[in-house]
Amino acid sequence: MAEMTKFWYLENFNLFKELNQESMKELGRITSMQEIAKNQPIYFPREPSSSLFFLKKGRVKLTRISGDGKEMILALVNMGEVFGEMAYLGEGERNEFATALDDCIVCAINKDEFKSFVEQNPELNLKMTRLIGLKLKRYSERIEGLVFKDAEQRVASFILKLADENGKKIGDEIFVKPFLKHQDIAELTATSRQTVNSILTDLRQKRVINFDRKKLIVMKRDELVKKIG
């Protein structure tokens, strides 16, 4: 299953890869590149969703805020991934915040222009559906985690996924460089900042991981896997 996910991931990354010269040129025409500084918003809830985005550089977080002001992170978007894709489906308004976690470069693609572009390149149809399907699968796993797992397991799964997706393997340790603050991890794993801290500290004390404000090192990947069960 992990393999399948990876397969899909690569396909997303290559959403436009098999396009011919002609189409790539056209794609360039309907695309506008934007630089977005760290911590700056890309879009807001209730804003009309007029375009979808392809993330060329940096990381983006998609968040929702509850009636009483609590924030949760719906998803992290990594380089090479697409976000704001509900625009493509005719969803009229954004229903989350998109915020740059680093200095980012994004390509904005107008939804209507993209729609006709897809019509002219019908091989993109299935790819777009798969892209949405991949997100669906991720969300279903997220739901499962929220229901079945306790705070420690959720944080452990998160670290594992982060390491596998964004880490560099050096020897049998995995380094993750631009780390997140504990508050962000809390918002991703539906727990509190304090609980995240105590779980991380505990894992560090057991020599499963090591970390400081900037980086995370997974030292015993299998211990994490064991913890999740």
Task: CB nearer to its own copies: give 144 or 202.
Answer: 144
SS3 49: coil
**Of the candidates 24, 33, 143, 225, which one interacts with its own copies according to CB under 8 A?**
143
Q: 2, 20, 21, 70: which one contacts its own copies (CB under 8 A)?
A: 70
Extract the tokens encoding 78: 């990594």
Instruction: Out of 67, 150, 214, 222, point to the residue binding its own copies (CB under 8 A).
Output: 67
Question: Which residues would be at the binding site for DNA (CB under 7 A)?
Answer: 150-152, 181-183, 190-195, 197-198, 200-201, 212-214
Burial grade of 8 (CB within 10 A; 0-12, 13-18, 19 or more)? middle
Q: Which residues contact residue 173 at a Cβ distance below 8 angstroms, ignoring those fewer than 6 apart? A: 217, 218, 219
Binding mask 92-131 for its own copies (x = CB under 8 A): xx-xx------------------x------x--xx-xxx-
Taking CB under 8 A as the criterion, which residues in 175-194 touch its own copies? Answer: 190
Token pair recorded at residue 123:
């091989």
Q: Which residues are within 8 A (CB) of 214 and not within 5 positions of it... i.e. 6 or more apart?
A: 177, 178, 179
Sheet holding 97-100, edge to edge: 41-43, 97-100, 60-65, 71-77
d(CA 205, CA 187): 23
**Binding segment (CB under 8 A) for its own copies, from list 27-35, 140-148, 175-183, 194-202:** 140-148
Binding site for its own copies (CB under 8 A): 1, 4, 64, 66-68, 70, 72, 74, 86, 88-93, 95-96, 115, 122, 125-126, 128-130, 132-133, 135-137, 139-140, 142-144, 146-148, 190, 229
